[in-house]
Chains A and B, each alone.
Chain A
Amino acid sequence: MRRAFADLHLRLNVKDPATALRVITKAAALGYRLIAAPFPSETRRDEIAKLKAVCSEAKIDFASRIDLRPRTQKELMQQLRRLRRKFEVICVACENKQVARHAAKDRRVDLLNFPLLDIRRRFFDRAEAELASNSLAALEIDVKPLLVLEGPARIRFLSSLRREAAIAKEFHVPIVVSSGVSEERLLRRPREMAALTFLFGLDEASVLKAVSQNPVAIVKRNREKLSSKFVAPGIRVIKEGKDC
């Protein structure tokens, strides 16, 4: 069976449908079977459905995603309570340690993302990894900075990614490699994304998992949970009616 590749972080501008369509078509041509794009929290369901329809025309599966940027633990809880059932993928951009720790242990969080350039605010250390390993959160790594940065900035970024990837591997935290790009020129084939991932020391099996199995599993798990037939993990409605 062919491997299904996914990119869970395409920055599509919903207000510019022509560019969005170009990026979606390009992603499909490059071999992705599933993409996800972040929406603002106030997005209506019909707007998401519209983009889903565009994607299905391009023969690519689409998952809705939201990037939460809470400043406190309380804010994170409120946002999760309000938005968990509206979006298929929830990513928390961890701006401070308190939020990072809480997001890592909350089972409603799918992805943990850290500020790209501020190395001191990348809180993915052993404590964070231990919390994440007991929940469902995965570490998301965007490839875009590897393409746009140069010189010392890229060196620092690579070094912190190498450290984080080693910690994630040690604690069995899944890694999801996404593009994080908005322009079609910066899109890369899944195998090329995997090649860039070699730069921070992952082996081939982990690299391929990071661009296929791990992201696909997150979307599959959440779709099942969001389905009306879901009752609890492992329990779902098979049949309803008086003859049951």
Chain B
Amino acid sequence: MDSDGVPSRKEFIDAVWSAVAKLYGEYGASQTSLALIDYDLEEKTAVIRTSLATLDLVRASLASITCVANREAAVHVLAVSGTIKALCKKVKR
């Protein structure tokens, strides 16, 4: 995440849910099975789980985020993977 301040875990996931709901509505958001697995305040990185079928939907929603907790922010996807182990490997690489 690219932002001025450091949003809390709740502020971050609220911003993600709100972006998904804004773009796809509550019905679309309910199909994503979105969950915040890990959130690193220092590195400003997060691991988000979503169902494979709604990956593009979540990607577009994350790209549409322009503020988190009333502060300007941008969320970039570093890597996508089926397992957390492979994801960590990808990010380290």
A-B contact count (CB 8 A): 41
> Complex: how many Å from CA A193 to CA B77?
11
B74/A191 in contact, CB under 8 A: no
Q: A185-B2, A189-B77, A191-B59 are in contact. Are A196 and B64 (CB under 8 A)?
A: yes
Nearest-Cβ distance from residue A204 to partner chain B, whole angstroms: 9
Interface string of B49-89 (1 = CB under 8 A from A): 00000001001101110100000111011000000000000
Decide yes or no whether B22 CB sits under 8 A from chain A. yes
> Complex: how many Å from CA A186 to CA B73?
9
Question: Which chain B residues border A189 with CB–CB below 8 Å?
Answer: 76-77
Quick one: closest B residue to A195, CB to CB? B59
Quick one: closest B residue to A146, CB to CB? B64
> Complex: how many Å from CA A199 to CA B2?
23
Question: Which chain A residues border B77 with CB–CB below 8 Å?
Answer: 189, 191-192
Residue from the list B56, B62, B66 in contact with A186, Cβ < 8 A: B66
Contact residues of A between 23 and 41, Cβ < 8 Å to B: 30
Decide yes or no whether A150 CB sits under 8 A from chain B. yes
B76/A147 in contact, CB under 8 A: no
Decide yes or no whether B35 CB sits under 8 A from chain A. no
Quick one: closest A residue to B67, CB to CB? A185
The SS class assigned to the A binding surface is helix
A195/B60 in contact, CB under 8 A: yes
Nearest-Cβ distance from residue A195 to partner chain B, whole angstroms: 4
Question: Which chain A residues border B64 with CB–CB below 8 Å?
Answer: 146-147, 196
Decide yes or no whether A187 CB sits under 8 A from chain B. yes
B22/A198 in contact, CB under 8 A: no
Nearest-Cβ distance from residue A7 to partner chain B, whole angstroms: 14
B76/A192 in contact, CB under 8 A: yes
Decide yes or no whether B23 CB sits under 8 A from chain A. yes
> Complex: how many Å from CA A20 to CA B66?
20
Decide yes or no whether A244 CB sits under 8 A from chain B. no
Question: Which chain B residues border A9 with CB–CB below 8 Å?
Answer: none
Which A residues have a C-beta under 8 Å from some C-beta of B? 30, 146-148, 150, 185-189, 191-193, 195-196, 198-199
Ordered by A's residue number, 22 sampled pairs between the chains whose C-beta atoms are within 8 Å are: A30-B76, A147-B63, A148-B66, A150-B22, A185-B2, A185-B73, A186-B74, A188-B63, A188-B76, A191-B59, A192-B60, A192-B63, A192-B76, A192-B77, A195-B56, A195-B62, A195-B63, A196-B60, A198-B56, A198-B60, A199-B23, A199-B60
